[in-house]
Every structure is written in C-alpha cells, then in structure tokens.
Structure 1
C-alpha cells in the first residue's frame, strides 16, 4: 500500500509538470505561441529599416539595368610630334614624327538628344573624341564646353535615334552609409557595375578648397573616370572622377563630383557658354580644435569669417569678421568644403539664407551672391580673369583680360614672362571682359592657332600666336 501511494504521488507530480510545461510553452500566451506578444524587445527590433545584404533588403538590378545603357565609352585621340634633339643639333634636322596617343574613359548620357557629361581630364587635349554606346554603335563627339576646376566636360553626339539617359538626383540629400553603384568602363571593360556606400561627403582634395567630392568605397579604376555614380533608384548623384591610391588602382576610396555641381556647370555651359560662379564675399577658414583655441573661441565647427569683401552681398547683409557660418539654407556647414560645395551650385544674384553665430547667438540673414570679379576661363592651358581697377588705372584701360596662370607645357618656359600680362584682342576681336572672351573662345577649336595682342607688365604691346 505504501509503495502504491508513492507511485501515485510520482504520477501526479509528473502530470502536473507536463501540464504546466504545455501551458508555459504552447498555450495562447506561451513562449512559442504565434499570438504571443514579446515582453522584451531587442534593440534591432526597434528600427523600421532592415539592414543586411539579402535580396529582400536591397536590390541593385533595376538601378544597374537603367544605368548601363546610358553610360558610354569615351575615346580621346590626340597627336604629338616627337623630335630628335641630337639630329637637330648636329644635322639641323627640323622634322618630327607624329605619334597618335589614345586615352579612354567613361561618360554619362544626360538627354535623349545626345548630350554627354564626362571629366575634363578624359577629353583634355583631344583632337578627336569617339563615343561608343552600350549597343556598340559609335559616334564622333563635339566638345561643347569644360570646367577644369571642377573637372567636368560636356559633349554632344548626333545619333540617329533617341538615346537612353540618366536623370539627375539631388546629391545634397545623399547620406553617409547609403548604397551607391559606380558604372563605367575600367580597363576598357564596358558596362562594369560595382557597389559600395557613401563613405563621406564634402571631401576637399584641392589646395584651393574649391572642390567638394562625394567619397565612396565602390570600386573605381582607371577608365571609370567620367562614369556614373547612382543611388539604388538609378538617379545620378555623382560623376566618378578619381581614386586615392599608391598604385594607380583601386585600394578602397574613390571620389565623385556631386551631381548638383555637375548639373549647374552643364546648365551654365549650355545657357551662357561658360561657368557662372557666384561668391558669398567672405574669406576665412574652417574651425577645428587648434584653430578655435588660437582664435579664443569655444565652437569647433563652422566657417570662421576673417574678412568680408567690399561691396559684396555678405557686406551688404551685415556679415562681419568673427562671425561663424554654420548653415546655408538647410545645408549644415562644418568645413570649408561644405561651404564652397554649396556655393558652387549657385549663380550670381541667387539668394542664400546664411545662418551664423555671433556673440553666442544664432542669426540668419539673406545674402545675394555677388558676381565673381575674379571669374575666369581657360583656353589652351591659359587661365584668364577680369582685370581689376588697379590694372585699368595703371595702363589707362577700360577693357582686357589678364593671364592668371599657365598650365600649357609648351608655354612653360615663358610662364613668368606671360603671367600677369593683359590680353587686348584675340584674332583681332577686342577682349572686352572675361564673359565675352569666354564666348569667343568657346567657338574655337583648341587645335586652331589664335593670335593674341597683349600688353606686358612694363606697358609694352606685343603679339604672339599660340
């Protein structure tokens, strides 16, 4: 009897345990119930956005399909005469051998009637430019205009059909960590697509501080220059321009001209024949811990104004030395590249809302961008700018353009003699100002010789042919 009681008690406890476990695990409120509302939530579950690499999260195929048909192969053909100095010296031989040089890159069709954007360095010095579409058709291209500072060039082909093209996206709205595709023709491998993320924005790789690149880790190699950087919708957010590498090949970083800057340059070239640059009218530098400590201020981000240009929009709006610019319109300003990159998307007479810090308080004023008195253009490696009041007074002139710099290798030995000279006429056409000169030169082929009449620093007038 005692043994039976013990068996009964064990059976009773076993049944209770089984029933309790079932209720705990499988009942309507059990741990494994489909109706169960979790008591605790993982941190990752509190976000609506999914992260990962599975096809369910992000799909690149649509963007790639849209873009590969609008990215073209650009072939740059130039001719160089090679001479033998020994033959010239000993035998008076003056002849030379003409050699064909070929460079390649990429371009992006931006309209159905054949306008193509690429890098200036892809087509620089070209005697002929050939465009090959994704369907293998080839066309001769015309160079419409360039901007060497931003490394952008505009080409045009006359095709016998409406062409697929890529639409511009808003590069200001791209975010660090956002997926992007780089599409181009590296090493002559056409229609190559690589993926990566936006690594940084407003990267300045130029000593002048005028450039403002998008940095990405999408693989870009020689031949990708001028190709498309697109978001996952296939919108153009940048023109791939360069890589940072010790070897010449991709090692992890690449850079693109933001689409907003490229689009503004292209529209300027098409409408005005040159690039219209507006200026805020301030000089200074970006803040960091060291600069702020030297200036005796606490803020370590923003653009510190050290001087304001006379008669500029900034002066008329009341900006002054010591103000710290922290925002332009809705764009936050932490570095000089942030400021210059945003201003480069604007034109003279555009109005910008400038938010700045003064005496610890934020203020916002509208500033009308001034016309850049140092607006420049470039032709055959000669950069030109408007003459200033001092030049006009010194030489008793009311017109002319000044040689600002020379990058033409053939003129390198005369650089010091020519720099600062004032050009009075080009092919007997009066050089009134930089705008008229830019329009005149835009109609000329860089292979053509031009006759320049100029006045040097000593007031002597002379003529050269380049």
Structure 2
C-alpha cells in the first residue's frame, strides 16, 4: 500500500515538471513572437508606414509617426498649442486686477472715558471711530483697458460700495474712482491715478466660434492671477440674471472654471485679446458647476466708451417690440426656419416705423451679422448710440428686403442724451469723488469732495491753477457735503458771475481759494 502511494506521488511530480517545462517553452515562444511584432511595429513606425495591429477586438490603424519623445510632428504640435495658452496667459495676467469694494459706515461705539474726561467725541483707542472698516465687503476682478488707469469690472462687484481698492498684478494698491456704471449690462468703469499701465487689447467677440479655446483670468476666492481654460460652449445665451427693463443678455457661455471672485475678470482668446468680461456662473452650489457666462467685449467696449464720455450709457431705441420665432409663427408666416426675430409691434414715430418696418416682419441681419434670437438682436443693436445709422435685413411675405435705420433715444430724437450735470462736467472739465469717512478723518473735516480728474480745456484748468487731488469744502461760502450739493450750487450761478471754491490739499496745512467766472 505504501509503495502505491509513493509511486502515485512520483508520477504526479514528474507530470508537474513536464507541464511546467512545456508552459515555459510555450510562453518563451509567445514572448519572442510578441517582441518580433513590436520590433516590426517600431520599424514600420520609424519608416512612416501604416501598420494595422489586430488586438483581437477593433483594428487600430497608425498613419504616420506615433507619439515619441524627441523631434516629431505630434510633439511639435502639442508644444505649439501649449505655447498658445502660455503666451495668452502672459499677455492677459498683468492686465487683470483684484478689486475690493467696501461699504464704510459711521461707527457708533461709545467712549467709556468720555463722561470722566468731558469729551464724548474723542477717539480713545478706537472708541467712537468715525467708520467701520468691515461694513460690507465684495471681492472681484477687473481688467485694465487703458494705460492711464481705466479699469472695467462688473456692476454687481462694486454695487453699493463707497470705497474701492484695486490691487495690481505687481501688488501695488490704489483707491479707485467710479466713473460710471450700467446695471443693464452689469458693467462698471473705474479709474485709478496711475500711468503706463499694461492694458489689454480688445478682440472681436463676433468672430468667436463655438468650440474655440478661451482662458478665464481672475481672482477666484482671492487666489490672485488664476488662469483657467475652456471652450466656447454657446453664444447669445440669455439666462435672465439681469433684472433691468433694458437689460441686454447675450452672454458667451464657456466651460472655463469660474468661481466667486472671478466676476469682472477677463475672458481672452489664445492671442491674449479680451473677448468677454466674466460675469456669472450657473450652479446649484454657488461654485463652478461647468457653466460660466461672459459679457461679449463688443458690447462691453461700447459701454466703456459711453461711461468715459458721458458718465452713463447712451441707449438707442428702435421703437419696435420683438420676440423669438415660435413654431406657430413659423407656420402662420410659412417660414422655412425659425432663425431671426419676429416684429410684433411698431411704434408710430419710432426709428423702426421711419425705416419702413411693419408687424410680421422677420429681422434676420443687423449690419450684415445674422441674428437668430432676440438676445443676439438686442446685443447687436446695443452697440450703437442715438443718431447712429444701422442696416437691417428682414423678410416680408417670403421676400428679403433691406433698409437703413437712424436710431433714436427715449425722447424719439437722434441726439445723444445729456443731463445738466454732464453739461457742467464738460464745462468745468472735472470729475469728482465723494470723500470716505476715513479720508474725512485723515483730513480733519466733516465734508468735502475730491477732484479726481481735470481735462485740458475745462474752466478749472484754463481759469485756475487747480490740481488733481484738491478737496472742495465750500462753493461761494456754502458747505459741500456731496457731489450733488456741488452741482446744485454751481447750476444756480448766472453766466458771467463769479464762483469761489474754498478747499485744501491733502498734506498741506493752509487752505486754498480758486476763483473763476461762469460761462
């Protein structure tokens, strides 16, 4: 019995040795075969040959050289495309700034030693401080659009603030003046007292293609100079985020990562040109969820120019009501497609009526650019001012037609709108900013406005020796608490009568007087 067991174990051991030996030899042969195929493949690749390799599932055909380290076309193309991102970031980064907008409010802390020392108004170790430094803070981004200090951002970044701090790429910090804002497009224009700044170049948002690479540059979560990449996902997007009656929403939609703090930052193409102002994200969580939206530069640029020149946006009106084409409208008018905007009402005496537009017309182009929706149409028209003439292509009863339209303002005239304040600003050649509580405290005054800009041909430059930075405390011996006070007093001065400005310069002890005659 023992002999049988030993014999069985011996036979099993021999069989195992033979099987292992056979498996090793078979494996070596298969390995040799694989090595040969790999060598042959590499040889074919090096010779730029097309080599089909059957994986047993789907044939993979290589045409030309594969990805390798060293000099080859794939590596060169990758390097070139990557360098486009790098160069665009290098161009855009220095032009994007961080913005901290604050609402400084009067303090109400009580000095516990006031009763004892008989001076309740004294500032003892911060008690009864004239302002609260942290009473409302909004952080966002901005883009330098001119070398002399103009910066564009979103209106919602600075809304309600009375002090705006701007930190440049090189870490310098400035207090900014609000030149003007436009809630209808969510654009605001600031200015800082600086020169020789790196300014971004405008691109053309009309030429952006869906699928084109773009970079978003800003300061999300206060992470300075953050660059993210994505593609243009859609154009002319209306997300109903702006609540103004004349709101223009035709956003560029991208999948570049944008978060809180990116608002007001730059959306640039791979040439480093500004194509949009990052404005909003669509998210259920408050953070980036795949969709971000930017105001096209072609509309932002017009708003910037208006704010520079007029202090507000010159809005052009067509005197028509439009809506997107629905299937019912398309069926009723026997339209081939639903591209364009439907004219449902034409106001008498408006620009549309004078251009010959009628109800049931379908507008298809503005100045040669196709429009397929109302947001796109509004964005195209929003680039123009009263008095500008635009070309309208439209469809009427199956026939294409073309007309020219002279745009009008809300008063149905073709003159750009103006205000008495703007007329005075132009006459005086000056821009002003109200003092913050901190500035009042530093100057030892409770009122006054600051001169932030002087033009060469204005009265204050030609008739006086006033310099930027002058603090106007009184006009004709009346205290000035704010800009409105200043203009209300100046407006009452008849032509030819004298105006006396009483004030100070920061860091100077003596008061200054400037006199001139109204024209």
Report the TM-score range of the alignment, normalised by the length of the smaller protein: 0.5 to 0.7
2:211 to 163, 177, 198: 177
Alpha-carbon distance in 1 for matches of 2:248, 2:333: 24
**TM-score (norm: length of structure 2):** 0.60
1:86 match: none
SS at the partner of 2:79? Answer: coil
1:365 match: 403
Gapped regions of structure 1 (runs ≥ 5): 1-29, 37-41, 84-94, 376-432, 454-466
**Higher normalized strand content (fraction of residues):** 1
How far residue 278 of structure 1 moved from its aligned partner, in angstroms, is 1.0
* 1:274–1:435 contact (8 Å) kept in structure 2: no
Whether 2:167 is the aligned partner of 1:129: answer no
2:509 match: none
* 2:215–2:267 contact (8 Å) kept in structure 1: yes
Alpha-carbon distance in 2 for matches of 1:326, 1:264: 23
Superposed CA deviations along residues 88-116 of structure 1, whole A, max 9, x for unmatched, are xxxxxxx9995522211100011111111
Given the superposition, is the C-alpha separation of residues 224 and 352 from structure 1 closer, same or farther in structure 2, using an over 3 Å criterion? same
2:85 match: 60
SS at the partner of 2:307? Answer: helix
Whether 2:331 is the aligned partner of 1:347: answer no
* 1:274–1:439 contact (8 Å) kept in structure 2: no
2:322 match: 284
Whether 2:471 is the aligned partner of 1:436: answer no
Alpha-carbon distance in 2 for matches of 1:162, 1:197: 32
1:241 to 279, 284, 289: 279
Alpha-carbon distance in 2 for matches of 1:168, 1:130: 24
Given the superposition, is the C-alpha separation of residues 133 and 309 from structure 1 closer, same or farther in structure 2, using an over 3 Å criterion? same
2:103 match: 78
Alpha-carbon distance in 2 for matches of 1:331, 1:446: 46
How far residue 309 of structure 1 moved from its aligned partner, in angstroms, is 1.7
RMSD over aligned Cα, in angstroms?
A: 3.6
How far residue 221 of structure 1 moved from its aligned partner, in angstroms, is 0.2
* 2:365–2:371 contact (8 Å) kept in structure 1: yes
Alpha-carbon distance in 1 for matches of 2:398, 2:222: 56
Alpha-carbon distance in 2 for matches of 1:300, 1:446: 54
Q: How many residues align?
A: 348
* 1:78–1:100 contact (8 Å) kept in structure 2: yes
Alpha-carbon distance in 1 for matches of 2:159, 2:407: 31
Superposed CA deviations along residues 271-304 of structure 1, whole A, max 9, x for unmatched, are 1222111122211211132443466755422111
Given the superposition, is the C-alpha separation of residues 54 and 31 from structure 1 closer, same or farther in structure 2, using an over 3 Å criterion? closer
Alpha-carbon distance in 2 for matches of 1:150, 1:374: 22
Q: 1:62-211 alignment to 2 at 5 Å?
A: 62-80=87-105, 98=132, 100-159=135-194, 161-206=195-240, 208=245, 210-211=248-249
**TM-score (norm: length of structure 1):** 0.67
How far residue 177 of structure 1 moved from its aligned partner, in angstroms, is 0.8
Alpha-carbon distance in 2 for matches of 1:253, 1:274: 30
